[in-house]
Amino acid sequence: MMNLLRIFYIKIAKFPQERHFMKITFFLSILLLATASTFAQFGTEKILDVQVVASQDKIVQGEEFKLAIILDIKPTLHINSNKPLNEFFIPTTVTFNPVRNLSFGPVQFPQPELKSFAFSDGKVSIYEGKVVLLVSVSTSPALELTAQSISGLVSYQGCNDTVCFPPDEQAFELALEVVTPGTQVQQQHADYFAQREAETMVSEQLELTQDERAALQYVQKGLIAAILAFFVIGLALNLTPCVYPIIPITVSYFGGRSNTSKAFAFVNALFYQLGIALAFAALGLISGLAGKQWGFLFQSPWFVVVIGTIILLIAASLFGAFEITVPSWLLTKVSKNKEGVIGAFVMGLTAGIVIAPCAAGIIIGLVGLIAKLGLVFKGTLLFFVMGLGLGLPYLILATFSGLLGKLPQSGGWMLWIKKVFGFILIAVALYFILPQMERIVGKFSFLIGIIGITSGFLLGFLEHGMYSTSFNRIRKIIGFILIVLGFYWVNSGIHAKKSEINWVQFSNQTKETLVAEEKPIFIDFYADWCAPCKQLDRVTFTDKEVTELARSFTMLKVDCTQPDAATQAFMDQFDVTGMPTLVFMSKSGQVLSDLREIGFVPPDKFIQSLQATLAAD
């Protein structure tokens, strides 16, 4: 029943509070009927069978051996992995009954699958089919020379495609004879242990993100399957806004060559596609050579700043701030071969360089996985194939150049579409920037810094207008200043200090319960939308002397963003009318009205107020 309540909770949480109670009641009734019918079908049937085997037929005193726990899950069913992605799902666990002079190591779980089901909005981390778990067992030289029984329980939650069942557990037991060192033992079940150890090296020794775990499923299916998967992924990248800026370049380049033969057009288009593929191969090569350090780069705030800025600048180009074109110096160098394969190759390479940074953000799981696994050759090959998939539509369009002529003529509709993609790209940039901001104390400085860097490049160097020579110099100086200030603000945000004050969050405390602690009291009434509140957190509450004095206080924070009845009553008790309201109370519970503040208070003044409060009794 606890599991059912969890399922109900997940579903109910999706309904806003203002929805009618009858809608929820109707939903629960349907869910109960579905669950009841499911239990009628599976209630008496085992979801899985458990078997345990050892790596050798006997236990040798003082030596280590391994156990393999095989879970044979029934068809059409699955169980949650050991690390479910939803906090309400029950993880699969293994517990051993204690055995004297035997020590069980951590259970090594295989890489789970990520799948979507009707009962969950997001992907679910699951096991299905046959699953092998490994455990290393250490023995003491004092282990008794007799048959030892190794037993335990596998706890799990089973589900089908529409509903999850109550948690269950299966017992297992294995008896092994104990022998003295030097006794010959027979190795057994090598197929289980060899295969699982290889998988464990990836899943246990590497910390993989959810995106990287999903990408690992493609890489582990063999080279041919991985090549096909990466080709399809490259083809799918054409549906992302990252490729849109190079479409006008491609159309204009090949559109003027419609009078050439199909064979000649095919060769040119092939070299264009090759250029794109080589740009992506470089991305795979760099990822493989950089190893884990490249994977860590994606967790670096500075790397996110670079990727976010590039995507925002591409978005600006779609709004018409500037045009992404092949550099004139590059066209000059290849002008002699502009009509030939070298020109087509350079154009494709340029297009790939434009797309790759934005695409790297979207396929971050694939890039991070190749980096963490250190797959130099395989990573280069797979990303090369991805580039071929990306370039396939252009190969078709350029070969049958008549198709280019049948494309709708540019006009107002195309400008509108470009702006739509521009907004999508802004959303993509925020997708990478916002999660990074969650880990940064100086969020405002970090965001303003990214805006400064982007606007500096855009206004000072990329945007082209009919300006005089003198104004061009001025705007470049202003752009440079904005870039420098942007880097300064980003750096300030990254290195902003976090308050070390031991805050107590308001949870229906009363004035009497606070006074009972026999310490002076400071109360900070704040709200998430309050700018001075954030300035207090960033400046005043991180001051070393403030932190030291706060140790003598009960430091209470009251979140007034959306106050419930208890919070509102507490606010009324202290006549809170603005944010932040700072209240100082003596040890005896007397409110020191002369120290009360509304708004930002700098560290030196706040220190004086704390000292005055300490001296009040």
Nearest to 530 by CA among 507, 561, 508, 555: 561
Superfamily of domain 48-197 in the CATH hierarchy: Thiol:disulfide interchange protein DsbD, N-terminal domain (2.60.40.1250)
Burial class (CB in 10 A: 0-12, 13-18, 19+), 137: buried
Q: Are 323 and 317 in contact (CB under 8 A)?
A: yes
Q: What is residue 78's DSSP assignment?
A: E
Q: Find where tokens 């580039």 sit.
A: 387
Q: What pLDDT, on the 0 to 100 scale, is given for residue 481? A: 96
pLDDT at 333: 53
Nearest-angstrom CA–CA distance, 224 and 183: 46
CA-to-CA distance for 583 and 574, rounded, in angstroms?
8
Residue 276 has pLDDT above 80, yes or no: yes
Point out the least confidently predicted range of 345-354, 388-397, 548-557, 601-610: 345-354
Highest-pLDDT range among 112-126, 165-179, 336-350, 370-384: 165-179
Helix, strand or coil, per DSSP, at residue 12: helix
pLDDT band for 94, please (50, 70, 90 cuts): very high
What is the full DSSP assignment across 408-456?
A: PPPSHHHHHHHHHHHHHHHHHHHHHHHHHHHT-S-HHHHHHHHHHHHHH
Displacement of CA 576 from its chain's centroid (Å): 39
pLDDT for residue 37: 45
At residue 57, does pLDDT exceed 90? yes
> pLDDT tens digits, residue range 466-492?
888 899 899 999 999 999 999 999 998
C-beta of residue 382 within 8 angstroms of C-beta of residue 253 = no
Phi, psi (rounded to 5 degrees) for 349: -65, -40
**Residues 198-226: pLDDT tens digits?**
444 444 444 555 555 666 666 666 678 88
Q: How far apart are CA 421 and CA 315, in angstroms?
A: 7
Q: Residue 13 above 60 pLDDT? A: no
40 by DSSP, 3-state: which? helix
Identify the pLDDT of residue 150: 94
pLDDT at position 274 is 92
> Does the reported pTM lie above 0.85?
no
- Summary mean pLDDT of the chain: 78
Residue 24 is predicted with a pLDDT of 42
For the chain, domain boundaries: 48-197, 221-439, 504-614
Question: Tens of pLDDT along 236-263?
Answer: 887 776 676 677 667 666 765 555 677 7
Percent residues over pLDDT 90 in the chain: 28
Confidence of residue 175 (pLDDT cuts 50, 70, 90): very high
Residues 178/59, Cβ–Cβ less than 8 Å: yes
Asked if 519 and 552 count as a contact pair (C-beta separation under 8 A), the reply is yes
Nearest-angstrom CA–CA distance, 67 and 179: 17
* Domain over 504-614 is classified CATH 3.40.30.10: yes
- Per-residue pLDDT tens over the stretch 547-606: 999 999 999 999 998 888 899 999 999 999 888 999 999 998 899 999 999 989 999 999
In angstroms, what CA-CA distances link 221 with 199, 364, 514, 522? 12, 20, 60, 59
pLDDT at 207: 53
Residues 372, 378, 382, 387: is their CA dihedral positive or negative? positive
Whether residue 334 is predicted with pLDDT greater than 60 in this model: the reply is no
Single-letter amino acid, residue 60:
V
Does residue 580 have a cis bond before it (omega within 30 degrees)?
yes
E strand intervals along 291-425: none
